[in-house]
Amino acid sequence: MNFHEPHIDYAGISPVIALTVGLCVVLLSAVFKPLRRSAPLLTMLTLGVTAGLLIWQWDDPKTLITGALRLDDLAISISLIAILTAAFCVVLSIRERATEEAGSGEYHALLLGSVLGMVLLAQATNLVSFFVALEMLSIPLYILCATNLRREGSLESGLKYLIVGSIGSATLLYGMAFLYGGTGATNFAGIADGIARNGLDGDPLILIGIAMAAVGLAFKTSIAPFHQWTPDVYQGAPTPITAFMAVATKAAAFAVFLRFFDVALGSQLDSWQPALAALAAISIVVGNVGALGQDSLKRMLGYSGVAQAGYMLGGVVVLSDAGTSSLVFYLAAYAFMNLAAFAVIVGRERETIYGDDIRAVRGLGVERPLLAWPLTISMLALAGLPATAGFIGKLYLIEALVEGDYTWLAVFIAVGTMISLAYYLRVVAAMWMGPEGESVTGATPVIAGASPEADPVDPEASRRWYIVGPALLAAAATVFFGVIPQPLVEFASHAGSTLFG
């Protein structure tokens, strides 16, 4: 009897292996006293190695682990966005209270765990790997949200995210069960086959499955009306984690959104396309209107994220090369724009008594120009003004939408952008046009001995390299790719063409 050793493509799974090994090393580093302070460094090293391995696999699409994963340029580009965001998160977490309270090793290990989930999710082509990766991504985040142990808001945020996230997962799983029941297959291609073979075109049970899967994914990408958790969780979580969550989770979830709806459900286009377009439109309106009155910058960015998710969903709706490419481009641009803003918020949180309130950035233009410029650029880019990556991203998306005969959704994006000006520019106005007067930096609280979260931890925070550096870097990238978008466009169109090519 012949025993065939299964072929294992170690090169293909090397990024996942590197992340797993790194995760274990970082976790164990907490045990050994001399290594205790090296967790951030080890995390960065792991992320760097993983990114290197992913780039090595660029332009070499392959199917891994008997069809459970597919490592193509879409997966790689999304993974790189997630890794970049995680690296920013690690730098911004230096001297963050949460890392000290929760233990630096554990904090960073959880972060790597979540990244691992994202890298897997971006490659998932099977219901099982899809679901496992999604949980792998989510569970560490539930904990990370609550790592600011002594703040009520943080604990509330973690719990809320856990409950709502579980509902999302359960809905998704239920939907998957319908699809599996109908087609008898778990891998995406098999589902598509099954629908065709069993004549399930437009079958109500399949449609229910699709609808529930879409709802589950809408929870993860915070698309309205499944977004209610977003502002609360964003506000409560430690800010570096919020930044990571806002960008990376969205990227990974959109990757699987694309793959699942294209590969498995492409034949049911007629039934889900209008529904997703409607969701996108709702999300644009709800997100932009919700953000209008927000004083907390993190909440504002949460709502803005809901609106931006609506824009990005447009890239899924049209189901084309251009749609996918525009989505990848937008995600990359979104990463830079958001990271610049969150870096500034982290800095101001540590040096003023206002936390993430809009008052914390008042007069920033005069006082801290090095932080004011990144936040300004970020806000203008999110509003889609020219000479920023945000403008090119919108242009790309709208072009894809018009080509895909969804001009009305493009008009929705334009209308949403108009509404969004009101709250983005409010932040800009607070920085540059605020009433001159008292400096808010390092001010002592009115009542001495107020709650610990109100104390500025570091009155010089926004002069530190680990705040100014990331902020400037992300803002510079936002402007660079707004003026010279060609490299990023090529990167995105490469990623986009793998799915349909």
Partner 1 sequence: MSSAILWAPLAFGLVGLFLPKRAVGWWAVLGTVVTLGLAIAVAIGFDGNSSALQYAVDEPWISGLGVDYSLGVDGLNLFLILLTTVLWTGGVAFAAFREQERAKTFYFLMLVAETATLGSFLAQDLLLFVLFFDLMLVPFYFLFGAWGHDRSAEGGLTASAATLKMIVYTLIGSLLMLVAAIATAVLAADGGHLTFSIASLNEHGLTQGSQRWIFWFFAAAFLVKMPAFLLHGWMPDAYRAAPLPALVVFSGVLAKVGAYGFLRVVLPLFPDATVEFQEVILIIALASILYGSVMAFTQTNVRLIAGYSSVAQLGFITAGIFALSADGADGAVLQMVNHGLVVAPLFVIVAILLERTGSEDIREMGGMALRAPVLAALFLIVALATLAMPGSANFVGEFYILNGLFEAKIVFAFIAISGVAMSAYYALRLYQQTMHNRKPEGLLSREIGLRDGLVLVPLVLCILGLALYPQLVLERTAPSVDKSVSRVRDGETPSARLASMSKQELKEILTPAPGNTP
Helices (H), 198-268: 204-220, 229-236, 239-244, 250-259
Query: Shortest approach of partner 1 to residue 344 CB, angstroms?
Result: 18
Strands in 15-85 per DSSP E: 62-64, 69-71
Nearer to partner 1, 21 or 425 (CB): 425
Nearer to partner 1, 365 or 374 (CB): 365
Report if residue 429 touches partner 1, rule: CB under 8 A.
yes
**CB 361, min distance to partner 1, A:** 14
Distance between CA atoms of residues 214 and 316, nearest Å: 12
The site map against partner 1 for 309-348 (x = CB under 8 A) is ----------------x-----------------------
**Looking at 236-244, 288-296, 337-345, 424-432, which segment touches partner 1 (CB under 8 A)?**
424-432
What's the gap between Cα 22 and its chain centre? 22
Specify burial of residue 11 (Cβ count, 10 A radius: 0-12, 13-18, 19+).
middle
Q: Are strands 62-64 and 69-71 parallel, antiparallel or unpaired?
A: antiparallel
Question: Closer CB to partner 1, residue 70 or residue 426?
Answer: 426
Measured CA distances, 6 to 17, 20, 66 (Å):
18, 22, 9
Q: Which of 417, 462, 478, 498 binds partner 1 (CB under 8 A)?
A: 417
| Contact status: 476 vs partner 1 (CB under 8 A) | no
Work out which of 365, 390, 393, 470 binds partner 1, going by CB under 8 A.
365
| Span from 99-107, 244-252, 309-317, 412-420 in contact with partner 1 (CB under 8 A) | 412-420
Tell me: does residue 490 bind partner 1 (CB under 8 A).
yes
- SS3 (DSSP) at 63: strand
> Which is closer to partner 1, CB of 274 or CB of 369?
369
Q: What is the C-alpha to C-alpha distance for residues 440 and 361, in angstroms, rounded to an integer?
A: 8
Rounded to the nearest 5 degrees, what angle is found at the Cα of 320, between the Cα atoms of 135 and 333?
65
Judge whether 261 and 197 are in contact, CB under 8 Å: no
Pull the structure tokens for residue 324: 């996918």
- Residue of 302, 374, 456, 485 interacting with partner 1 (CB under 8 A): 485
Of the two residues 44 and 387, which places its CB atom closer to partner 1 in the complex?
A: 387
Give the span between the Cα atoms of 252 and 275, in whole angstroms: 21
Contact predicate 431/365, CB 8 Å: yes
Sign of the C-alpha dihedral computed for residues 348, 353, 356 and 362 taken in this order: negative
# residues near partner 1 by CB under 8 A: 38
User: Residue from 89, 176, 410, 477 that binds partner 1 (CB under 8 A)?
Assistant: 410
Q: Is 407 in the site for partner 1 (CB under 8 A)?
A: yes
CB 70 within 8 A of CB 119: no
Q: Determine the length of the chain.
A: 501
Residue 399 engages partner 1 in binding (rule: CB under 8 A): yes
Q: Find tokens 């459900």 and name the residue.
A: 265
Which of 321, 453 has the CB closer to partner 1? Answer: 321
Rule CB under 8 A: choose which of 87, 253, 392, 477 binds partner 1: 392
Question: Is 421 one of the binding residues for partner 1 (CB under 8 A)?
Answer: yes
Nearer to partner 1, 376 or 462 (CB): 376
Which of 305, 384, 390, 470 binds partner 1 (CB under 8 A)? It is: 384
Contact 203, 193 (CB under 8 A): no
Binding mask 266-305 for partner 1 (x = CB under 8 A): ----------------------------------------
Q: Which of residues 177-206 bind partner 1 (CB under 8 A)?
A: none
Main-chain phi, psi angles of 357, to 5 degrees: -70, 155
Spatial distance between the Cα atoms of 61 and 75, rounded to a whole number of angstroms: 10
Shortest distance, position 78 Cβ to partner 1, whole Å: 19
Nearer residue to partner 1 within complex by CB, 399 or 453: 399
Which residues lie closer than 8 Å to 199 by C-beta, 6 or more apart? Answer: none
Place of tokens 């319908």: 178
Stretch that binds partner 1, among 61-69, 289-297, 399-407, 471-479 (CB under 8 A): 399-407
Contacts with partner 1 by CB under 8 A lie at 325, 365-366, 380, 384-387, 391-392, 394-396, 398-399, 402-403, 407, 410-411, 413-415, 417-418, 421-422, 425-426, 428-429, 432-433, 485-486, 489-490, 493
